[in-house]
Amino acid sequence: MPDPLGPLFDALESINGELTGFAARLARLEDAGAVRGAPKQGASGEDSGSDSARARGAPVVWHKVKEEERAELWTEFSAWVIRMADTYELTTEQLPHACWWEHGAVVAELTALWTGWESAFGNEEDAAAGPYLWHDAWARGIERIGRSWLGECTNGYHQTKSRTVWGTDPAYRKKIIDAGPPGAGNGGPDTPKAA
């Protein structure tokens, strides 16, 4: 009689192998990012001549990117988005053609997919798991993007959402800070309820 747990152990062994590969890739990215003055590689893998320390596939946090690097990085990123939209034949219901760059959540999701793509497809040492996993992330990411503006911008024009902007009200921020952290005896989520 075959071992009923055999397939489970096989799957766990496969996942462990993938995690080991990810750990090695992360270590290489961290090493490359720690080297000051390392040449920046563009989406084509060619040295762009910049003295940026960003390693290919390293995360991009747009508000932390140096002003002098932002325009070049944005050009590279937007070219990638356009190429992916054409390659994967995205519809305006999946990604609004007229205004995707005006939606912060969409830009953040696409940026994560871009850096993941750089990491998955720019690593010759990968045993092909990276590209497969990237495609899985792409499918889930595009689905999330399609939901992130609830169809408001799918008709070829940008429609600003009606919402409250959280970060512009100092009184709101003060109210939260004054409430104190959870568990401080202030009725926060970690405070036990009275019987």
Beta bridge partners of 47: 41
Reading the block at residue 129, the tokens are 């798991």
50 and 40 Cβ atoms separated by less than 8 Å:
yes
**Model confidence at 14, in pLDDT bands (50, 70, 90)?**
confident
Q: What is the pLDDT of residues 133-170, one digit of tens each?
A: 999 999 999 999 888 765 567 666 676 665 667 777 88
DSSP of 122-141: S-TT--SHHHHHHHHHHHHH
**Which of 114-123, 142-151, 172-181 is predicted least confidently?**
142-151
Over the chain, what is the mean pLDDT?
Answer: 76
